[in-house]
Structures are given as structure tokens and as C-alpha cells.
Amino acid sequence: MAFFIFVGTAVILLGFLLSFIITQKRDSYSKALGLAALGNYLDARAMVRERLEEDHQNPYGHFVMAKIYSMENDPLNEAKHLEIIKKNNRYTKEIDVVTVSNRIADIYYNKDYFEESFFHYLDTLQSDRSNPVACMRLGFMALGQKEFKIADHFFSRLPEEKMNSSLYFIAKGVISGVTGAGKERGYFEKAYDLEKSPVSGFLYALSLSRENKHKEAVKIGTAIADQIEDEYVRYTIFQFLMTEAILQQNFPDALKYARLCMEMARLNGWTSETIESSIHFSMVSVYMGRYDEIAEFLIEAESERMDDPEVIALANLKYKLERGVGNLDSLSSEYDLPKELSLLSVSFFPNSRYFELSGMRSSKPFNLKGLVDESGKKLAGKLDMVGKDKFEKFIAMTGTQFKNQVTRMILSMGYRVTKELANPEGDGVNLLCSSKEDVNQRALFRVRKWKDAKVSDVFIRDMIQQMEEAGASKGCIIGNFEVTEGGKKMIASSGNSMEIITGDKFEELLDRTM
């Protein structure tokens, strides 16, 4: 009996001793946090390191160290200690995998380390499939890379009826609009109801127009026009209001907005937009029979776009109408002005414009497809297994390495490089090439290390001129870019002589040659 009493007493004393030691350790961590709160980060970290020497994998110790670095505003070192907790896979009730993964991901997200952030948010979803923070961030990062299907996979995990974020509904609307699902108007309406911002309003107005609700679209568009501070966005909203007025046969308003666009473009020195808006102003004026106002604008457009068949046809139509040689109906076989005016809306605002206007494009590309498949399933077990995205490798190349890669790309397209031409821009190369099958067939390749650029009619016109000087019958632009409306018209007017390789086609070309 005495033996059992002795053993029981010993166990109780041992329990008190362990409790005392743990309490002492916790007290030392509390003291360390107290010192850090007073700004004494050096001594605070020294105190925690002393405890960690006894147990290098102690999750609470690393958690406290991370808190100290957070107080010191050193997020990368904070992330370093949180990553140690993840690596050791030791957690407590208050230090769980979701809390740790989300905090690391937040740090990297705020630092624009999107690949690292994406990886850690994916870890969160392995433990909490519908974690709202992770799903939202993953969705927006995927959307920023124009991976609409992957983005929708993450957004769809969130209960739509419980969401009250305008950005969420904008994202859902963009995905629906670009992919052709047809539900964008409802999403943009919810976004605008939650926050009457210029972005949500513009997207909502555009979606209303797509459903032929033009009066409502104009009402929203007019309401947000004065809220927009960015001059180019205001120019774009005036373009929209011009096209809406045309669709409603309200040509006085169409002329008013066409003039506003023209004046804004001139005032801001936008060369391409100045010519484009002058043409649109001339189109509306000709339709209304107001020929005297547009002579100088048409002459300017003709001088800038001597080979543009639309400008030539419009000028010829004006000339004949002024002299009473036919009317819009009888001359429609030469230039169908009413049809061309009605097509401006679709030309300016195709479904892809939803994404551009949303402002959700990421300025930094990263290797998203190395992290997940199209269904959002995680591919790599470790971040260092992901590797660098081929596009990032390409734009990081310099000198001979870059030119060798470009040569491989051109060879895979059936051409050989014969001469390097001048490129004052310095962001890529201009190469004169000859066909493998016919050496007399020449092509000009402009390969650029752009991240996200616009190719305008000015660039195309300059390229066509360089092609003529070099005796090339074909031109090809390779890079990451979008073509402006003016650029598209210039390409269309050049017949089949111009080829554009961007987006998926550019990605496939890199896959074949790198």
C-alpha cells in the first residue's frame, strides 16, 4: 500500500514539475513577446533561440519567432519560421496548418511572389477545401494569368449566395463573359449593387448592351463617366456611349461623343486614337450629311493610313454624296456606312474586353500551369519542383542565348535567318528570313520580349514599311501582346501577309523549341 502511495505521489510531483517547466517556457516566450512589443527585437529573438536550442522543431517557438519578425515588419523572415513549422509538420490547436499556410501565402502574395503564394494557398485547400481566403486569392491569381477555367474552379468552391464582395462578382462576370457562358449581366449587376464603382458600372453597362438593353446601358454609362479619373478609361466610356447612341439611331448624341473622343485623343497626344476617332467622327458626320465639318479630319486620316481601304472608301463615299452621285442605299455596294456604324460596338467591345476593362490582368506572369492542372488539382509536391516558366525564361534571356532561341523558333516555322535588321526599340530582334522551301520567299520576323504590350496600327505600318524595304512578302510578330482595333484593321487590310503569334500560339511555340 505504501508503495502505491509513493508511486502516486511521484507521478503527481512529476506532473507538477513538467507543468512548471512548460509554464516557465511559455513565460519565457511571453517575456520575449513583451520585449519585442517594446522594440527590443534583438534580445527577444535571443530568448526564443535559447528555447529552440532545446527543441529545434518546437512549433510554438518558431511561431513566436515569426510573431517577433512580424512586429519588426520583416515578413520574409516571418515566413521563414512559419515554413519551418510546415516542413516539420508539427502543429498545435492554435497553430494549425490552415493558419500557417494562409499566413505564409499572404506574405508572399503581398510581396508579388505569386508562384510561392499560389503553392501555399493550395496547401490550405488540402486541409480546408473551401477556405474562403485561399479560394479567393487562388481565383484572382489564376484570372490574372487569363486562366479562366482554373480561376472558375476555385471561385466555384465558394457559396455564391453568401458572397458580398463586388470583386468576386466582377471576376465571375468576366469569366462568364469571356468563356461565353452568358451569365455576366447578372454577376455585374450584383457587383454594381454592392459597390457603385466605375469598373463595375462600366462592365454592367456593357453587359446590358449585349442584351439589347441600350437605354439602361446608357443610363449607367452616363452616371459613371464623371467618376472616372483615368483619361484613357474616360475616352473608352465615351466610345461606348457613342456606339450605344448609334445602335439607338441617336446620331446627334453619337456625334457629340465622337467629337469628345477626338478632342481627348488630340489633347493627350494619342496618335493612333486621334486618327481612329477622327474616322469615327467622319463616319457619323457623313451619315448625317454634315460634310463640311470633316474635310480636314479625313485628309489627315488618309495621309496617315494611305493603304487603309476603309478610309479610302469613306472618303470616296463622302465625295459622291456631296455631289449628289447616289445615296447611302445605292452606294452601299461600295461602302455600306450604316452597317459599318452598327458594327462599331462589337468591334470596340468584343467579349474579351470584359477582362481588359476589369483591371484584373496580372502585371507579373508566373508558372501557374506548373502548379495545377486545368481542374485546379495540385501537380507539384514541392515548390522547388515547379521550375521556371518558359515564358519567364524567354524574356530573361539576353545576347546570344536569346538570339539562339529565336533562331530555333523561326526554324520550327519553316524559315532560316538570313539577316538581322535594325531595331531601335531594343526589346527584341528584327530578322529577315527566307523560306526553307523557296529561298526567294522572304519574311520579316519581329520577336519581342514583351510582358504585356499593345500593338497598334503605328507599329504595323512601320513593320509593313520595313517589309517593303527588305523585299519581304510576309511579316510575323511574336511575343506577349494584344493588337489594338486600329492594328487589327491594318492587319486585315494587308491581306494574308501578316501573322500574329501571341497567347496560346506563343506558348505552344516555346513548348516546341525550349
Average pLDDT, the chain: 86
pLDDT at 370 over 90: no
Give the C-alpha separation, 54 to 58, whole Å: 9
pLDDT tens figures, 240-275: 999 999 999 999 999 999 999 999 999 998 888 888
Give the C-alpha separation, 476 to 153, whole Å: 35
In the prediction, which pLDDT does 236 show?
94
pLDDT-based confidence at residue 138 (cuts at 50, 70, 90): very high
In the prediction, which pLDDT does 494 show?
78
Q: What's the per-residue H, E or C state across 375-440?
A: CCCECCCCHHHCCCCHHHHHHHCCHHHHHHHHHHHHHHCCEEEEEEECCCCCCEEEEEEEECCCCC
What's the average model confidence in pLDDT over 59-77? 90
- The domains of the chain are located at 390-512
In the prediction, which pLDDT does 12 show?
39
Selection from 430, 433, 412 nearest residue 421 by Cα: 430
Give the C-alpha separation, 89 to 85, whole Å: 6
pLDDT tens figures, 101-118: 999 999 999 998 898 999
Q: How many CA atoms lie within 13 A of 279 on its CB side?
A: 25
Selection from 202, 211, 220 nearest residue 355 by Cα: 202
pLDDT at 383 over 70: no
In the prediction, which pLDDT does 369 show?
79
Q: Is 204 exposed, middle or buried (0-12, 13-18, 19+ CB in 10 A)?
A: buried
What's the average model confidence in pLDDT over 468-483? 90
Q: Which cell numbers in the block locate residue 444?
A: 520579316
Which has more pLDDT, 352 or 103? Answer: 103
In the prediction, which pLDDT does 188 show?
97
Which has more pLDDT, 238 or 2? Answer: 238
pLDDT tens figures, 488-497: 888 887 777 8
pLDDT at 30 over 80: yes
φ/ψ of 180, rounded to 5, equals 80, 20
pLDDT at 18 over 80: no
pLDDT at 238 over 90: yes
pLDDT-based confidence at residue 381 (cuts at 50, 70, 90): low
φ/ψ of 244, rounded to 5, equals -65, -40
pLDDT tens figures, 70-111: 999 999 999 999 999 999 888 888 889 999 999 999 999 999
In the prediction, which pLDDT does 444 show?
94
Q: At the topology level of CATH, where does 390-512 sit?
A: 3.40.1340
pLDDT-based confidence at residue 6 (cuts at 50, 70, 90): very low
| 182-203: b (≥16 Cβ within 10 Å) or e | eebbebbbbbbebeebbbbbbb
In the prediction, which pLDDT does 386 show?
57
What's the average model confidence in pLDDT over 38-60? 86
What's the average model confidence in pLDDT over 222-236? 90
In the prediction, which pLDDT does 41 show?
86
